[in-house]
Amino acid sequence: MIRAAILFTKISIVAAMAFWLANNPGQVTMQLYGYHVDTSFGMLILLIAAIGIMVAAIWRLWHNILTVPQRFSKSRELSRREKGYQALTKGLVAVAAGDAGEAAKQSRKANALLNDPPLTMLLSAQSAQLAGDDNAAVKYFTHMLDNPEAAFLGIRGLMVQAIKSGNKIEALSLAKRAYELHPKTQWVLTELLTRQSEVKDWDGALKTLDQAVKSDAITIKAGNIRRAELLMEKSRVSLGENDEANALRYAMLAQKNDAELIPAITAAARILANMGKNRKAEKLIEKIWQKSPSAALAQAYDDIASSHAPLEKLKYMQQLAAFNMDDIESHIMVAQASLKADIWGEARKQLTPFAAVDDPRPRICRLMAQLEEAENNNMELAHAWLEKASRKQDDEGDQILMIDDDRAKND
């Protein structure tokens, strides 16, 4: 709309001038080198315009003749760049497709055609990686560090090589450099978190995790679970240093971040028991047992009462079972305690409903084998139960049960 208005204005001005000249032709007299010329003012204007157009045309022609080499060179350069970028694209596609030969071929072609070191070095490095030439890949990625625009890509490539070679310290160092360049990039945060965890830098990992959650690199829920795991590692470190107070604090913080993290609960319970706070330890396990009974919790509860006689231990474990009598873990726990106390009837009562199903759990089968051997000395039936148990892979409870059996044998 604006362009149309401008064009209309120009046409109007030209038309107005033409109209004015037509009504006011005027008279111009010129004498030059003995020649006498009489003409109208309008004709003089047209003559000047014609001469101007002719001069412009001659200048244009002359300029085009002078710039032919330059334009030819530019056209050739554009053609080279176009072919170079085609080679670069084909090379990257070959890398993605895993075609090492084609990637190397297109890399050489792109290097010859393009004067763009970052891109061509990236292709060369990836081509070398694909071909298994780690030394060449490292060389290309290292060269990229000298170029500010390509440094980040070089760091990432070197980090991949460090991870591949198992150099954890170098991988962490490069992850930190990547973080310095792009602290808000999601993959940088998650990679730095992984590398810090790998070298057991738990404090650094916790700080990075907080930033990763803020940057949406990790969801809040996943962040809480990961934070709980990291806090548990700090708890184990503190426990190894005989710092029970901090070990307990970190375990409780871990449980606060992930209420269903059984290792945090069992660790906190054992630490409390070691500190002589048995009732607090019991309450901690009892609270979780109401919602999520597990063999690990049962074992931790059993450890708290390790000094109890077998019959007392049975009553003690029945106390925990009462918080969730409908769960199979409660029945298994009481059955185990009954076997240790030689209360065969109670053990059979707890196990029979779960042993009578078509496909009983391995733990049930193992306990039934123990019961048949201990109560009736029926080795044939005990072996039959063990055969059933061997048909399925052991779960966490089975492993704890076998560890418990080994303890009993050693005692």
CB 15 within 8 A of CB 7: no
Of 139-148, 326-335, 355-364, give the lowest mean pLDDT range. Answer: 139-148
Which band of pLDDT confidence, cut at 50, 70 and 90, is reported for residue 231?
Answer: very high
For 244, other C-beta atoms within 10 Å of its C-beta total 16
- Predicted confidence (pLDDT) at residue 305 exceeds the cutoff of 70: yes
Pairing of strands 28-32, 35-39: antiparallel
The pTM for the full model equals 0.65
Closest CA to 235 of 219, 247, 226, 249: 247
Q: What is the pLDDT of residue 116?
A: 54
Residues linked to residue 38 through DSSP beta bridges, in sequence order: 29
Token reading at 116: 């763009």
Residue 7 CA to residue 1 CA, distance in Å, equals 10
Residue 32 CA to residue 132 CA, distance in Å, equals 86
Q: What is the pLDDT of residue 150?
A: 73
Could you tell me what percent of the chain has a pLDDT over 90? 50
Higher per-residue confidence, 140 vs 391: 391
**Residue 304 amino acid letter:** I
Residue 354 CA to residue 192 CA, distance in Å, equals 48
Closest CA to 254 of 228, 223, 272, 234: 228
pLDDT tens string 12-26: 776 666 556 566 666
Q: What is the pLDDT of residue 165?
A: 87
Q: What is the DSSP string of 287-329?
A: HHHTT---HHHHHHHHHHTTTS-HHHHHHHHHHHHTT-TTSHH
The dihedrals phi and psi of 343, each to the nearest 5 degrees, come to -100, 80
Could you tell me what percent of the chain has a pLDDT over 70? 69
Higher per-residue confidence, 249 vs 96: 249
- Predicted confidence (pLDDT) at residue 137 exceeds the cutoff of 70: yes
- Predicted confidence (pLDDT) at residue 366 exceeds the cutoff of 80: yes
Q: What is the DSSP string of 243-301?
A: -HHHHHHHHHHHHHH-TT-HHHHHHHHHHHHHTT-HHHHHHHHHHHHTT---HHHHHHH
CA dihedral angle for residue 405, residue 407, residue 410, residue 411, rounded to 10 degrees: -110
Handedness of CA 243, 245, 248, 250 (dihedral sign): negative
pLDDT tens string 376-389: 999 999 999 999 98
pLDDT tens string 23-75: 666 666 666 666 666 666 666 666 676 777 787 777 777 766 666 566 555 55
CB 186 within 8 A of CB 217: yes
Which band of pLDDT confidence, cut at 50, 70 and 90, is reported for residue 5?
Answer: confident
Residue 333 CA to residue 297 CA, distance in Å, equals 10
Residue 110 CA to residue 359 CA, distance in Å, equals 64
Of 195-209, 256-270, 391-405, give the lowest mean pLDDT range. Answer: 391-405
Closest CA to 389 of 338, 351, 342, 344: 351
